[in-house]
């Protein structure tokens, strides 16, 4: 990221990186959850190892929380003058 970058470009860069990391994390987490569900299916009484509605809801909630946590600091960072930020360091 260069000093002359426009605010929308910086915002898009950071949010794209956050979205990519969120999608990779959700993909790995869903695979691990499915594997754990198969392992626990025989050990727990009346528990289904695969509930697509619950997995989808959990993935959506986690994605919204993650992207929301990235949105606020990113928006704040795009409003700061880069020269002021460099002078303070």
HEC letters along the chain: CCCCCCHHHHHHHHHHHHHHHHHHHHHHHHHHHHHHHHHHHCCCCCCCCCCHHHHHHHHHHHHHHHHHHHHHHHHHHHCCCHHHHHHHC
Q: Is 54 part of any domain? A: yes
In this predicted structure, the answer to whether residue 22 has a pLDDT above a threshold of 70 is: yes
Mean pLDDT of the chain, nearest integer: 86
In this predicted structure, the answer to whether residue 70 has a pLDDT above a threshold of 90 is: yes
Show Cβ contacts of residue 77 under 8 Å, excluding neighbours closer than 6 positions. 10, 14
In this predicted structure, the answer to whether residue 2 has a pLDDT above a threshold of 70 is: no
In this predicted structure, the answer to whether residue 1 has a pLDDT above a threshold of 60 is: no
Q: Is 86 part of any domain? A: no
Determine the distance from the C-alpha atom of residue 36 to the mean position of all C-alpha atoms in its chain, rounded to a whole number: 22
Report the number of distinct structural domains present in the chain: 1
Task: Check residue 89 and give its pLDDT.
Answer: 64
pLDDT band, residue 19 (cuts 50/70/90): very high
Domain that holds residue 31: 21-81
């Amino acid at each position: 990221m260069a000093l002359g970058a426009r605010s929308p470009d910086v915002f898009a860069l950071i949010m794209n990186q956050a979205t990519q990391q969120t999608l990779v994390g959700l993909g790995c987490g869903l695979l691990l959850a499915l594997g754990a569900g198969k392992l626990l299916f025989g050990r727990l009484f009346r528990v289904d190892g695969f509930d697509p509605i619950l997995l989808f809801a959990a993935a959506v909630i986690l994605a919204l929380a993650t992207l929301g946590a990235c949105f606020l600091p990113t928006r704040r960072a795009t409003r700061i003058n880069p020269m002021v930020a460099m002078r303070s360091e």
